[in-house]
Amino acid sequence: MQSKILLLAALSAVAQARFGVEGAAQAGIQALSAFGAPGAAGTLAGQTPGVLLAGANACAKLSLADEIVSQLGTDPEVLAGAAALVAAEKNFNPNAQSIPTLCSDASLPATAALRGIVPLVDPSVGGADIENALSAQSLKQPLDATGLSVADIVTANGFTNFTAQAAA
Ligand SMILES: *[C@@H]1O[C@H](CO)[C@@H](O)[C@H](O)[C@H]1NC(C)=O
């Protein structure tokens, strides 16, 4: 009994830590209020949770990242916020799926500075250690994305345990 409670507490701590990672993408966009039209950053930040839902199309957050740059500009702070969204983990419902979905549209994201960045995946997925290391690395030094979708890029770099999904 005691160990069950401890396990639940540990799982909940992990879930909260991971939720924090997802919430960080939204907070990062919210913080860009000095850029773009008044209220634009707030509106874009408000769209962030929707593209990170488990059921969201895997390409939707890439389109939103492009939209962020198109509305707020190419200041390094804006690019960093948009890059964090590209790298963010999409929610994962283990009851509905066993492997994550990644975007197979090679035209996304369109913003050159956002290409070659790949997302985190749920740590419980087989091969997630490879993917999550790639994601961290790609934020520092983008991976080769020439003509490649996010799904193609990670495949080329050794992570294949996902379902490719075209833009809606
Ligand atoms: C993919 O991940 C699922 C869920 O973690 C796991 O059951 C499966 O063994 C993995 N497959 C490969 C090829 O790593």
Report the nearest-CA residue for atom 14 of ligand 1: 126
* DSSP notation for 91-144: P--TTT-SS-EEE--TT-S-SGGGTT------TTSTTHHHHHHHHHHHHHSPPP
Question: Would the pLDDT of 1 be above 50?
Answer: no
Give ligand 1 pocket residues (Cβ under 6 A): 98-99, 124-127, 161
The pTM score is: 0.88
Per the prediction, the chain carries an average pLDDT of 90
95 versus 105: the higher-pLDDT residue is: 105
Taking the CA of residue 126 as reference, the ligand 1 atom at the shortest distance is 2
Taking the CA of residue 161 as reference, the ligand 1 atom at the shortest distance is 1
CA dihedral sign, ordered 14, 91, 108, 83: negative
**So what's the pLDDT on residue 86?**
98
**So what's the pLDDT on residue 23?**
79
Which amino acid would we find at residue 53?
L
Asked which of 44-53, 62-71, 93-102 is least confident by mean pLDDT, the reply is: 93-102
